[in-house]
Amino acid sequence: MAGLLDILSTTARSLDAQTYGLNTVSQNISNANTPGYSRREVQLAAAAPAGPLSAGGGVDIVGVKADHDPMLDQQLWQEQPLQQQQNALANQLGVVQVAIGTPGQSIDNNLTQFFDAFSTLAQDPISSTNRQQAVLQGQALAQAFNQMSAKLAQAQSSADAGVRSGVDQINALTSQIAQLNGQIANAGGSTTAGGQTLQDQQRVLVGQLADLTGVNVINRSDGGVDISFGTGQALVIGANAYGVSTSPMAGTGFASILASDGTDVTASITGGQIGGLLQARDTNIPGYVSQLDTLAYTVVQQVNTLHAAGYDLNGTTGTNFFTPLASSSGAAAAIAVNPAVVADPSKVAAGSTNSAGDNQTATAISALRDAKVLGGGSSTMSDAWASLVYQVGQDTQTAQNEQQTHASVVQQLQTLQSSVSGVSLDQEAMSMMQFQRAYQASAQLFSLVNQTVDTLLNMVK
């Protein structure tokens, strides 16, 4: 009789174990599309026999394990910042590329029309209409430089706004991660269902943080994570979050990034969306601005040198066509036609002497289109513009190619991660059938033993 009761006890434990397994399968299927969810796997173990003549004590529910590979997490968190950095850079430079315009329809076209106007003036150097046209084309060229400078400045400001927004997102994420650290420790870490659920949420947040900036993540023994960035500055230690702030840079007013201890880490942030925005803001766009300013300054210097030496329609010399510039810095934003020339187009110089019909100055200014006055005497003004357009296009294409390369690596890592942690509905269907059949068999055995016990009890009566 005792043996039959032992069988009933063993079978009852089996029914509990199979029910637990079906509940776990139900949980997996329910979260098949939940971001960050790690498949749960039931851990069962054979119960030790009660004595030497016992077949065994049935089954024990050891617990549930979250299928997960921390090494894949680390690799993914190292690769994500590289992808997002190039993605942000490509997006910012793509905006600049659109602003630069297509060949023949931007500043290069204004240069052509400007020099064409002086070429037309050279054909009829006493024409007031031709002088007016030269002034108008000069104004159009100056305005084109002004607008292009403003577009590049706007692109820098847009990148800076993205950096400031990114810092706010970092602070929000680190605060949530620190809070989860505390909750995970209180829930018993990865050994409990509650802790595992919190860890799934935590990994999603760490991934979002890695999208923003390169991070170093260290797993804690209590199930939480410690996170640092920059040159080792803390973002999260246990249940404590360390805020990041911004401070205006001298001169530009753009945001520099400060760690919680006040260290300026701007230069050390090269990964993630913020790293891409910083590269565009502080390196690429300033380079384009410098090229644009150099071109504008060269136009002003070369034209003014020839124009000031020439004679206008009134026989006057020494007049600058463009307002003189002190240096190339900010030249594109500052270039403008001399207000005196705008007010009186007769001040446009066409001749190198005070002789009626002399067109040498107009001819010389027109010839500047082919003069190699940039790049140490190796490039014309049109060449310089073409070089700027090519540089923007090349930088954009390089960033796009790098983004695709890193995106492919991220995709491969995510696929590997999914093979370990992801929920396969086919696999869950198989598990469900296994637990279901085991439950049915245990139920049948329980019913059979129960009938046998009833028979024995009836015999006793």
**Same domain (yes/no): 359, 305:** yes
Model confidence at 241, pLDDT cuts 50, 70, 90, reads very high
Q: Is the pLDDT of residue 53 over 80?
A: no
Q: Is the pLDDT of residue 250 over 80?
A: yes
**pTM score:** 0.88
Can you tell me the distance from the alpha carbon of 254 to that of 453, in angstroms, rounded to the nearest whole number?
Answer: 84
Q: Do 193 and 151 fall into the same domain?
A: yes
Handedness of CA 99, 104, 105, 107 (dihedral sign): positive
- What pLDDT score was predicted for residue 367? 97
Q: State how far the Cα of 199 lies from the Cα of 187, in Å rounded to an integer.
A: 10
Token pair for 405: 């390369």
Q: What is the pLDDT of residues 285-340, one digit of tens each?
A: 999 999 999 999 999 999 999 999 999 999 999 999 999 999 999 999 999 999 99
What one-character DSSP code corresponds to residue 45?
E
Residues 226 and 155 in one domain: yes
**Residue at 73 is within a domain:** no
The identity of residue 387, as a single letter, is S
Q: Are residues 274 and 373 in the same domain?
A: yes
> Is 326 domain-assigned?
yes
pLDDT tens digits for range 29-45:
999 999 999 999 999 88
- Same domain for 216 and 312, yes or no, is yes
Range of the domain at 40: 2-67+422-460
| Strand residues in 318-398 grouped as ranges (E) | none
Which two three-digit tokens encode residue 231?
């040159």
Three-state SS sequence of 429-456 = HHHHHHHHHHHHHHHHHHHHHHHHHHHH
* 439 and 391 part of one domain: no
Q: Which amino acid, 276?
A: G
According to DSSP, residue 317 is labeled B
User: How distant, in Å, are the alpha carbons of 156, 327, 336, 393 from that of 151?
Assistant: 9, 21, 17, 16
Place of tokens 């991934």: 207
Percent of the chain scoring above 70 in pLDDT: 96
Phi, psi of 225 (to 5 degrees): -135, 145
Statement to judge: residues 164 and 286 lie in one domain = yes
Query: Is residue 7 domain-resident?
Result: yes
pLDDT tens string 156-194? 999 999 999 999 999 999 999 999 999 999 998 888 889
Integer CA distances (angstroms), 231 to 263, 265, 344, in order: 10, 7, 61
Q: Let me know if residue 334 belongs to a domain.
A: yes
What was the pLDDT predicted at 59? Answer: 87
Per-residue pLDDT of 209-224, as tens digits, reads 999 999 999 999 999 9
pLDDT by residue (tens digit) across 10-20? 888 888 889 99
Whether the CB-CB separation of 83 and 406 falls below 8 Å is answered with yes
74 within a domain of the structure (yes/no): no
* 8 Å CB contact between 413 and 76: yes
Rg (CA), the chain: 38
Position 60 confidence tier, pLDDT thresholds 50, 70, 90: confident
Report the number of distinct structural domains present in the chain: 2
